[in-house]
């Protein structure tokens, strides 16, 4: 008998879902917001999306070639980073800035920290914040849509104007490319939930707690009980939903312990509400997520569950 | 009624349909038989025969090498040719008794004689089980007489028969429940006679409705025995998960089932007890499922222990295509074999032959921190963090994370989209921690004696 069969340590099965199929699903789920953004803001939005995605892929490819690591652009994660960055940009942004954001996201935030799975911040969001800090005015220059005010609903509301909630739901207003249409975002989110790429735990708790904290903070700061319309505007606007379903759920930068996920979602909810009600910024989602990202290692360590059959507080085995 | 089960776990493709309806066929073998002296947990057995001796079927050829050990009985008659190292299922060589089978199957006097268990004392029953070489046939191979010896027999509340057979592809326990229910119940009654306050519970996953129906029927008038349908989920047959489902009690790695008032044995083991105690027949055969997409005609065979896997496969009809992978046991916890030239052991329950090897086809990639492993782990561990600890030899952190609780079930590994070899890291981590503990103990002992 000369033939030798393969050997491996058990189990001898593997998941049919791979990293690339998950990332591909995220990219598919991002299509409705992207498409709506293109419909809403025209070809400039399309160009921005294409440029962000291409810049992300090329940066990853070139870097990995240079440092002689295996090239991982096939796992779709760079595509997703490019797309998430793009949906968070105003359509009027110069293309080179979008490209720069992608390069920063992939090169500095992802690759320099060791590549996929090693970054401690969501690369796309870090890219966005980098652009916000560097090019503040261009990043908040939102184009007018169908003659409606060029201000985003939340800034309008801060200024005391009223907003049209139905238009916000459909997405006929100004804002970043992919954040305006609640409908499109929910379509994508539904797909992710259906495919079990994400669970409802983080986005659900995040959204709910944001609402609760907004009420609480309004009461505490003496603004009185907010109206339903005000809350809905906060729910629909300012990228809360796209942040909740697509960014707060980013695997690498959210906790894996069940309890940790709850705490993490509450933390983002609190920070978002804080930035919106107390802070000057009307948006705040990106910052809230990024700051919470940095607390994840800590949260995870503190929330390691008690193993089956062990008493609480006695994590270690008896020697 | 909601079915009893445990938290988390996975649902791998079960592949049972291939051989589920094929009745057990008994086959006899010719040629060389090989009996490794170490096919159980504990000290190796001590040979009681020497090369040149003539042995009979059912004759003890090796005695237990201590209390936690098990003897071995020859499954054939013939001549002892050698006692020499042979390759075993785990891929390493072990001293083995090699017998040239004369094909006559000449039995030792008294083999198969009926015996009334009520005429035996508990001590006699335990001795019979020990001498019959019975070990846990569900895979672990822990000597059964040791398991049945407790600190206080009156404290045992449940004698559980593990009929979950949660490993994909395996059917041997299922076929035994359908075809030998009387033996199963007889064996269970023998064990119950050792534990006056215990009730007998047969736990069966609900993907085996025929077995549940048949055994429920047969136990209808049994005051001390009932059948419990369990949710079909892997690893429902894991000892801790089974105890949790049936009694609601949780045990950990530093406890025994006895601490939860339980004794757990699988179906084949209980039948072996019946055969030894009531029919004077020691453990000589094993029922194996020969299946997989590379097997021509998937089936269930009862073969003599000691024959070669090659002969078993031939008896089953051979391969339909050249397999890439052979597994002894289930795909979740079984052992991959690099050759078929390996003797069948007491705990052998299958040969799985797969045309493709998903392990080789899916090399591991960087962890994407998705948390699927956490959602799958029945021990409520955090496999992702444990792997980082084990791979960096940070065993202190590995232990703190509860790494020693890992039951090596493989759930985390089969759901990982990055195809990381998590379970492999945990085997390494656990072995290392155990080694460090032993070294620390030895050091402490030396220091103590120096004082
Ligand atoms: S399932 Fe795999 S990729 Fe996901 S967290 Fe666990 S080890 Fe990482
Ligand atoms: S192998 Fe260990 S860590 Fe993985 S799921 Fe099973 S018990 Fe949990």
Tell me the helices (H) and strands (E) count for chain B, helix number first.
14, 17
Structure tokens of B150?
Answer: 């407790």
Q: Are the CB atoms for B354 and B294 separated by under 8 Å?
A: yes
Q: Are the CB atoms for A65 and A105 separated by under 8 Å?
A: no
Q: Which residue minimizes the CA distance to atom 1 of ligand 1?
A: B416
- Using CB atoms within 10 Å of the CB of residue B280, give its burial: 0 to 12 exposed, 13 to 18 middle, 19+ buried: middle
How far apart, in Å, do the first and last CA atoms of chain A sit?
A: 46
3-class DSSP assignment, residue B120: coil
Q: What is the pLDDT of residues A128-148, one digit of tens each?
A: 989 988 888 888 777 665 444
pTM of the model: 0.89
C-alpha torsion sign, points B237, B239, B243, B244: negative
Q: Is the peptide bond before B235 cis (omega within 30 degrees of 0)?
A: yes
Structure tokens of A153?
Answer: 């609903």
Q: Which residue minimizes the CA distance to atom 8 of ligand 2?
A: B377
The stretch B232-244 carries a mean pLDDT of 92
Q: Which residues contact B366 (CB under 8 A, 6 or more apart)?
A: A115, A116, A117, A118, B418
Mean residue pLDDT across chain B: 92
Give the whole-angstrom CA distance, residue B357 versus residue A243: 40
Structure tokens of A90?
Answer: 């105003």
Could you tell me whether strands B262-266 and B225-230 are parallel, antiparallel, or unpaired per DSSP bridges? Answer: unpaired
The stretch B432-438 carries a mean pLDDT of 92
The radius of gyration of chain B's CA atoms, rounded to the nearest angstrom, is 22
Q: Which residue minimizes the CA distance to atom 5 of ligand 1?
A: B369
pLDDT at A315: 42
Nearest to A318 among B254, B378, B414 (CB): B254
Supply the CATH classification number for the domain B16-20+111-279: 3.40.50.11540
| DSSP summary character for residue B33 | E
Contacts with A, B 307-336, CB within 8 Å = 310, 322-327, 329, 331-336
Beta bridge partners of B353: B326
Structure tokens of A274?
Answer: 């804080």
Q: What is the pLDDT of residues B179-193, one digit of tens each?
A: 999 999 999 999 999
When mean pLDDT is compared across A109-118, B162-171, B286-295, B383-392, the lowest value belongs to A109-118
At residue B374, φ and ψ (nearest 5 deg) are: -65, -40
Complex confidence, ipTM: 0.88
B388 Cβ under 8 Å from any chain A Cβ = no
Tokens 């005015």: give the residue: A137
Residue A225's pLDDT band, with cuts at 50, 70 and 90, is confident
Residue A317, pLDDT above cutoff 50: no
Structure tokens of A228?
Answer: 């339903």
Q: Verify whether ligand 1 is closer than 6 Å to residue B416 (CB atom).
A: yes
DSSP-derived secondary structure for B305-317: TTSBHHHHHHHHT
C-alpha A19 to ligand 1 mean position (Å): 10
The stretch A192-199 carries a mean pLDDT of 94
- Using CB atoms within 10 Å of the CB of residue B38, give its burial: 0 to 12 exposed, 13 to 18 middle, 19+ buried: buried
Residue A151, pLDDT above cutoff 80: no
pLDDT at A283: 66
Structure tokens of A210?
Answer: 């944001």
Q: Which residues contact B16 (CB under 8 A, 6 or more apart)?
A: B168, B169, B170, B171, B174, B207
C-alpha B404 to ligand 2 mean position (Å): 10
Q: Give residue A21's Cα distance to chain centre.
A: 19
Structural domain spans, chain B: 16-20+111-279, 372-450
Q: A295, A265, A271: which is closest to A283 by C-alpha?
A: A271
Structure tokens of B220?
Answer: 């209808």
Considering every ligand atom shown, identify the ligand nearest to the alpha carbon of residue B404 and give its number.
2
| DSSP summary character for residue B321 | S
Q: Which residues contact A299 (CB under 8 A, 6 or more apart)?
A: A255, A257, A260, A263, A264, A267
Give the residue from chain A lying closest to B425, CA to CA.
Answer: A9
- Residue A284's H or E segment, with its range, is none
Q: Are the CB atoms for B173 and B267 separated by under 8 Å?
A: yes
* CATH class of domain segment(s) A19-302: mainly alpha
Could you tell me whether strands B24-26 and B225-230 are parallel, antiparallel, or unpaired per DSSP bridges? Answer: unpaired
Give the whole-angstrom CA distance, residue A283 versus residue A247: 15
**Count of alpha carbons within 13 angstroms of residue B359, beta-carbon side:** 23
Nearest to B325 among A12, A75, A254 (CB): A12
Q: Which residues contact B86 (CB under 8 A, 6 or more apart)?
A: B34, B36, B93, B94, B96, B98, B343
Structure tokens of B22?
Answer: 């094929």
**Count of alpha carbons within 13 angstroms of residue A11, beta-carbon side:** 25
Burial B128-164 (b: 16+ CB within 10 A, else e): bbbbbbbbbbbbebbbbbbbbbbeebeebbbbbbbbb
Q: What is the pLDDT of residues B193-229, one digit of tens each?
A: 999 999 999 999 999 999 999 999 999 988 999 999 9
Beta bridge partners of B158: B199, B262
Residue B112, pLDDT above cutoff 80: yes
pLDDT at A244: 95
Q: B132, B36, B56: which is closest to B101 by C-alpha?
A: B56
- Per cent of chain A over pLDDT 70 is 90
């Amino acid at each position: 008998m000369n033939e030798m069969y393969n050997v491996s340590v058990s189990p001898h099965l593997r998941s049919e879902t791979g990293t690339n199929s998950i990332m591909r699903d995220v990219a598919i789920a991002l299509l409705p917001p992207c498409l709506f953004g293109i419909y809403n803001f025209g070809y400039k939005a399309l160009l921005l999306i294409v440029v962000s995605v291409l810049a992300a892929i090329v940066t990853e490819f070139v870097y990995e070639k240079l440092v002689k690591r295996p090239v991982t652009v096939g796992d779709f994660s760079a595509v997703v980073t490019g797309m998430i960055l793009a949906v968070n940009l105003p359509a009027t942004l110069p293309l080179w800035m979008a490209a720069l954001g992608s390069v920063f996201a992939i090169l500095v935030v992802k690759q320099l920290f060791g590549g996929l799975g090693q970054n401690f911040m969501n690369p796309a969001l870090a890219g966005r914040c980098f652009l916000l800090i560097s090019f503040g005015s261009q990043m908040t220059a939102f184009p007018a849509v169908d003659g409606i005010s060029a201000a985003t609903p939340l800034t309008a509301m801060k200024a005391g104007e009223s907003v049209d909630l139905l238009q916000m739901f459909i997405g006929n207003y100004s804002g970043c490319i992919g954040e305006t249409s609640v409908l499109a975002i929910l379509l994508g989110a539904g797909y992710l939930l259906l495919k079990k790429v994400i669970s409802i735990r983080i986005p659900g708790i995040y959204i709910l707690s944001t609402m609760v904290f907004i009420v609480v903070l309004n009461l505490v700061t003496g603004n009185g009980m907010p109206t339903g319309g005000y809350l809905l505007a906060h729910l629909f606007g300012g990228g809360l939903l796209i942040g909740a379903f697509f960014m707060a759920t980013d695997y690498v930068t959210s906790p894996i312990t069940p309890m940790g996920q709850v705490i993490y979602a509450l933390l983002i909810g609190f920070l978002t509400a804080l930035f919106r009600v107390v802070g000057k910024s009307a948006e705040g989602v990106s910052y809230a997520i990024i700051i919470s990202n940095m607390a994840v290692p800590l949260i995870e360590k503190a929330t390691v569950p008690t193993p089956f059959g062990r008493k609480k507080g006695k994590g270690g085995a008896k020697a | 009624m909601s079915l009893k089960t445990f938290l988390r776990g996975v649902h791998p493709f079960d592949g049972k349909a291939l051989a589920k309806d094929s009745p057990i066929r008994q086959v006899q073998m010719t040629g060389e038989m090989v009996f490794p002296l170490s096919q159980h947990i504990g000290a190796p057995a001590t040979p009681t025969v020497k090369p040149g001796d003539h042995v009979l079927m059912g004759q003890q050829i090796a005695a237990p090498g201590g209390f936690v050990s098990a003897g071995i009985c020859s499954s054939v008659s013939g001549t002892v040719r050698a006692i020499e190292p042979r390759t075993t299922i785990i891929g390493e060589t072990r001293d083995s008794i090699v017998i040239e089978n004369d094909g006559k199957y000449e039995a030792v006097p008294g083999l198969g004689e009926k015996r009334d268990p009520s005429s035996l004392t508990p001590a006699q029953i335990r001795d019979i089980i020990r001498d019959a070489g019975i070990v846990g046939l569900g895979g672990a191979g822990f000597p059964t007489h040791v398991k049945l010896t407790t600190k206080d027999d009156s404290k045992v509340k449940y004698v559980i028969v593990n009929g979950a057979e949660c490993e994909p592809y395996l059917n041997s326990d299922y076929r035994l429940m359908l075809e030998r229910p009387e033996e199963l119940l007889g064996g269970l009654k023998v064990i119950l006679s050792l534990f006056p306050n215990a009730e007998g519970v047969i736990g069966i996953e609900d993907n085996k409705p025929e077995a549940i129906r048949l055994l429920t029927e047969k136990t209808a008038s049994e005051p001390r025995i009932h059948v419990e349908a369990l949710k079909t989920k892997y690893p429902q047959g894991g000892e801790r998960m089974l105890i949790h489902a049936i009694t609601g009690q949780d045990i950990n790695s530093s406890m025994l089932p006895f601490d939860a008032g339980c004794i757990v044995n699988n179906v084949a083991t209980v039948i072996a007890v019946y055969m030894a105690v009531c029919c004077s027949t020691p453990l000589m055969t094993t029922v194996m499922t020969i299946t997989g997409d590379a097997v021509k005609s998937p089936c269930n065979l009862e073969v003599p222990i000691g024959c070669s896997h090659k002969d078993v496969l031939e008896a089953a009809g051979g391969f339909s295509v050249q397999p890439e992978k052979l597994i002894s046991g289930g795909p979740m916890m079984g052992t991959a074999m690099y050759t078929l030239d390996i003797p069948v052991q007491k705990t052998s329950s299958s040969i799985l032959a797969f045309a493709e090897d998903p392990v080789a086809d899916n090399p591991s990639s960087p962890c994407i921190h998705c948390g699927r492993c956490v959602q799958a782990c029945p021990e409520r561990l955090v496999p992702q963090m444990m792997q980082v600890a084990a791979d960096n030899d940070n065993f202190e952190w590995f232990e703190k994370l509860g790494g020693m609780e890992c039951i090596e079930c493989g759930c985390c590994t089969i759901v990982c989209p990055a195809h990381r070899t998590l379970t492999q890291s945990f085997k390494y981590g656990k072995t290392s921690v155990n080694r460090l503990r032993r070294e620390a103990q030895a050091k402490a002992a030396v220091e103590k004696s120096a004082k």
